[in-house]
Amino acid sequence: MTTTTATPTILPADWRDFLALTKPRVMTLVVFTALCGMLAAPVPIHPVLGFTAILCITLGAGAAGALNQWYEADLDARMRRTRGRPLPAGRMDRQSALHFGVGLAGFSLGLMYFAINLVATLILAASILFYVFVYTIWLKRRTPQNIVIGGAAGAFPPVIGWAAATGDVTLLPVLLFALIFLWTPPHFWALALFVKTDYANAGVPMLPVVAGERVTRQQIGLYTLPMAAAAVAPWPLGLVGPVYGVAAMALSAVFALLAAQVAFRRSGEGDRMVPEKRLFKYSILYLFLIFGALVADRWVA
């Protein structure tokens, strides 16, 4: 007697899940800072090439996000904030995510080299590799300094934008890199303070989980100072004009005020973490506005 067993139909992932794999919300900040880095460059870039460069940066960031989700599917499944993502929710198999991420990374680098230049291609490659290998695979599960060092990956886009326009890297894009690099710890630790339980459940050694709230609050305050210095520095160095300088000072002062509110408080039982949530939201707005001011300054000049 022969028996037949029903072969389960493998459901192909929806294209929207591939899109979700690229972390589109995170990408908006990446695209914006890259675009501003490009527009702030002293050399104009042809609109078609400029569009292509931004497309490549977007696809590269999407590839890094996809590979991050491929590697972290087990962590994401343990966190309320991320368990609805395509892999932990079971809407996509890991192999598809891996192929998609690697393919997208290769495509973005190939197109960048073909259309733009080698310098921008190499920095884009470095940012993807750094995010995947240094941050995701090496640091994230091992040290509370994960987002401090890993923050470099998110700081590359304005440098790539600048390099796409000019073919080189000078002091201003390096300062923009430093600004995002130093902005990342207060931004992420503000988030980590109000989703601490999530990180603790997933076993991610974020600073509030490992060192406690008091140290995290101190560190948010401490990192805000060099961040503000990096934000304002281009003005006294003569790299930008007063439009950017005044905006950077005002925006950084508000950032410092909100960071101080977080740094000098203690949360109690059932605390709603309002100052922490406010700092987190403002930190996103801060980066948008400060890079917007950079472009406005160039246009005024």
Partner 1 sequence: MNDDDSETLVRRRQRDRARLMAVLLGVFVILIFAISVVKMQLAHGS
Interacting residues with partner 1 (CB under 8 A): 6, 9-15, 46, 48-49, 52, 55, 114-115
Q: How far is the CB of 78 from partner 1 (least distance, A)?
A: 28
Decide whether 52 or 121 has the Cβ nearer to partner 1. Answer: 52
Token reading at 151 = 């923050």
Helix (H, G, I), strand (E, B) or coil at 91: coil
Contact 223, 254 (CB under 8 A): no
Distance of CA 144 to the CA centre of its chain: 17
Cβ nearer to partner 1, comparing 41 with 192: 41
Nearest-approach distance from CB 7 to partner 1, in angstroms? 10
Distance (Å, rounded) from C-alpha 102 to C-alpha 107? 9
Of residues 116 and 179, the one with the C-beta less far from partner 1: 116
Nearer to partner 1, 89 or 256 (CB): 89
CA distance 17 to 30: 20
CA distance 295 to 298: 5
Shortest reach from residue 272's CB to partner 1, in Å? 41
Instruction: Find out whether 101 and 63 touch, Cβ atoms under 8 Å.
Output: yes
Give the chain's length. Answer: 301
In the complex, least distance from residue 115 CB atom to partner 1, rounded to whole angstroms: 5
Nearer to partner 1, 91 or 277 (CB): 91
Q: Which of 151, 105, 116, 107 is nearest to 41 (CA)?
A: 116
CB of 246 to partner 1, least distance (A): 37
CA distance 31 to 147: 20
